[in-house]
Structure 1
């Protein structure tokens, strides 16, 4: 038996666990990821990646790599309906194209299509390892205990790991959550049990080279959902099944696939068959001491809307910088309480929004005035608002306002309110034209057009030994001050997860004192703030 010391142990090497490793390793925190499977799953689960998720990956320098493995949907059809694939009208325009173009104005991130989960993993796994994370497959977290000094875990190979923190990314049936006796609430199983068939077949003779995200198939032989994996040779067909999922032999699956395609002679290779069922559940706690739940371990969201995977990645992004700040000593341990305070309400809203869409999926996909009115009547938020319009209320945000100014227009929601994502604006910088989001690194960031604020922020950061970047943005270059709701002599403090922690509309008499108070509150540095305040104010 060997002993190993690591700052963060991650149970679960799926997409969210790997994302957590990437984010933590990028912050200079060593991680060990243990995954029970022998290797990355070849079976895609989710396929939709949001612009908000891409913003997080962009910050890690992974946007181009993810784009390279994504399936181009710029000229695609999105969601289509047909009797068979062979009878689908591929000449129709994509009604979502205009909405996607408008989204470009609110984000610098490029999402040109879908990115099946196994393809995203093919980027995250090497990225995590290149940054120093250790990922061990065929390894199970057998048991763990925790105390004031850390987490002590026993792995399936007999080794013992001593970690400061444990992140549970081990899925909807999380053994870590079960060991902590954390209950779940929510609707539970939803709808009919399903079978997911991953198969290979050349379907380009039927698509003519055009792409689609999903095609709902309905004919006397099969009713199901055909999903694009690579747009040419890899596909998934979802069909209803009974609870056992038995009887889906290779021959039976091939017959169903051919019926969905509309060609009884098409050559089909069935790669894998997985039973699944939509589920909606929410953990009563996202944290127990030094253990944190992320992704499906914390919340399981029905697939309609592509919210589940993206919400899980956002969990990891929110948590990583906080753990790093505490480990590196520039934040108090009280900062960690803000993880559950912020992410659990977001997950609850996301779950609610996914369930509200189930009776009428058009509420998610379509953009007509009639559907917009129907969304408002049903209490359904437009998808971009769900993905990026949430607002945090916690000790790590000063002056949050949870009320959304719009349920439809994400550009109105991202208005600079503390607790919301920093609005995207293109600004001139000494390194060239950059997005405001690109100015935010792995430390705190102050954005201002005012010399007084810039000088005060640098002095305070130096005195408190807090990593903080200051960017003075020239007013002639952009309307960014109006976008974040401040005047020319105001400032905003932005967290590493792109969230505005605090803003001052104008410059007060003593900006250094205001900055000290803000940093002390956001980072839970009550004692440190008091210790250094006198020294700075006495200058």
Structure 2
């Protein structure tokens, strides 16, 4: 067995939002990590634009939601607008549900912010070693861990790291996924696109009609930061090396704008749409774009990756701390892969809708049609609470007993339910404390009769018993004499008992089943 220079419980490959979120979540569980990122610094490019309401719930648990919101746009920017050019009036608009205004289904609101604003906050959310300019070049699974070879970008020096587990969040072109030979399914390449970051004074047309995204017939505009800066993206033209980027952006601004863009930087990128055939291979786990490359239209991809990390990290912590069996990690793929497929379906639908609207409107403008005619626009493409909050898990880590069969997820409609597999619904327990605030780095038992359940021995599992007000017990159809909900650390209901427990071992048996762990004694 080759010697290792470094040993660590979890090696995280990739320093984007998903890898950084996983690092912060594992730190909360007391799990040491080493994070490596092949680039020499956090991304200076804005990239992802939207932190949705579910991600903000997760960041609220980490204590960083307020800081993220402080650097983000005001809620009124949670809107999309369609225009011929940025200079023209809207011909369609819609609010981003859960971003534009608070929703009763959550204690938080999502935000419009740039990825280069989000990542430093995530980096500061946890300690532990981070190595930038370090690339994974090889890995091999062993009986009790994974041996990874890292290369320093500056000097080429190699380091051998032995990790109990590897969490690969290294993007759509994942080196780890490629090394493992894991294939992908889905539409694949949807085209080549270019993002142009530029400066221009556009307040005259946008200050009183704010939006996080302006779709035009000639490309898409996004404001970057509350204090200024813009980005435009569209299909990469032929011979991009000779393109007049300032001219292309100015055309999309509109001939009447009288504004020329001052180009800051340009980035070309492929838009792909795939889901990995497997999220789990032995001790190596894929998350974020490494597991599912989702088109950016609708702001679903990064947020799905944050939810991946939330689902996975408590399971990793349980295995490493000894209160969960290794087979629990298999439920990560079982639970998250169907969500990834539905997320991809929705994002691809968003993308084709956008492309269709832009092409049709371009044809109308070329034909001299001033007013848009029968464009295939629908507000439902930006009403995503059903997908964001309504995902239901079905696996060995959920005790389905009498629960309804796994429903086909609705992208638009979210109906709160406390059935096993679903996210625990939000209700205010006090003016500033939600049912979601009772959850954390532990299992939570919510019951109107805590004394009945507190007598049950549950070691070695981390568990808090929380008193549930009578009115909420009635809403969830729980007996006031001892009905209960067992909620996993990721906020999804693991089990429920409508009536008092039949014996003193009920909770112990449930936790053992959910975590695939049967402690002696």
| Alignment TM-score, normalising by the size of structure 2 | 0.88
Residues 1:182 and 2:182 are matched in the alignment: yes
Map Cα deviations across residues 314-342 of structure 1 (whole Å, 9 max, x no partner).
11111111101111111111211111111
Structure 1 residue 525: Cα displacement? 1.2
Name the residue aligned to 2:122.
124
Q: 2:141 aligns with which of 146, 153, 157?
A: 146
Compared CA separation, residues 59 and 362, structure 1 to 2 (3 A): farther
Contact 1:195 1:245 survives alignment (8 Å): no
Contact 2:52 2:99 survives alignment (8 Å): no
Aligned ranges 1:366-381 → 2 under 5 Å: none
Structure 1 residue 242: Cα displacement? 4.2
Contact 2:184 2:277 survives alignment (8 Å): yes
Structure 1 residue 441: Cα displacement? 1.4
Name the residue aligned to 2:323.
330
Compared CA separation, residues 97 and 14, structure 1 to 2 (3 A): closer
Structure 1 residue 363: Cα displacement? 12
Name the residue aligned to 1:18.
20
Q: Which has the higher helix share?
A: 1
Name the residue aligned to 2:112.
114
Report the more deviating stretch, 171-180 or 274-283.
274-283
State the SS of the aligned residue for 2:104. Answer: helix
Map Cα deviations across residues 353-378 of structure 1 (whole Å, 9 max, x no partner).
222334435999xxxxx9999899xx
Contact 2:95 2:382 survives alignment (8 Å): no
Aligned ranges 1:231-246 → 2 under 5 Å: 231-242=226-237, 245-246=240-241
- Gaps of at least 5 residues in structure 1 are 365-369, 533-539
Name the residue aligned to 1:535.
none
Contact 1:168 1:297 survives alignment (8 Å): yes
Name the residue aligned to 1:133.
128
Aligned ranges 1:39-50 → 2 under 5 Å: 39-50=41-52
State the SS of the aligned residue for 2:392. Answer: coil
Aligned ranges 1:288-299 → 2 under 5 Å: 288-299=281-292
Compared CA separation, residues 114 and 381, structure 1 to 2 (3 A): closer
- Gaps of at least 5 residues in structure 2 are 152-156, 358-373
Contact 2:40 2:133 survives alignment (8 Å): yes
Map Cα deviations across residues 216-235 of structure 1 (whole Å, 9 max, x no partner).
223xxxx1111121255211
Name the residue aligned to 2:169.
169
What is the distance in 2 between the residues matched to 1:465 and 1:98?
41
Map Cα deviations across residues 250-305 of structure 1 (whole Å, 9 max, x no partner).
xx111122222236753643222111232111111101111000011101112222
Q: 2:30 aligns with which of 25, 28, 31?
A: 28
Compared CA separation, residues 231 and 363, structure 1 to 2 (3 A): farther
Contact 1:422 1:484 survives alignment (8 Å): no
Q: 1:520 aligns with which of 512, 517, 520?
A: 512
Contact 1:381 1:407 survives alignment (8 Å): no
Contact 1:398 1:501 survives alignment (8 Å): yes
What is the distance in 1 between the residues matched to 2:477 and 2:108?
23
Name the residue aligned to 1:69.
71
Report the more deviating stretch, 447-456 or 53-62.
447-456
Report the more deviating stretch, 196-205 or 140-149.
196-205
State the SS of the aligned residue for 2:353. Answer: coil
Report the more deviating stretch, 238-247 or 495-504.
238-247
Name the residue aligned to 1:446.
445
Structure 1 residue 404: Cα displacement? 5.5
Map Cα deviations across residues 400-425 of structure 1 (whole Å, 9 max, x no partner).
53125966431x2x210111100000
Residues 1:260 and 2:252 are matched in the alignment: yes
Instruction: State the number of aligned residues.
Output: 493
Contact 2:391 2:422 survives alignment (8 Å): yes
State the SS of the aligned residue for 1:360. Answer: helix
What is the distance in 1 between the residues matched to 2:60 and 2:450?
29
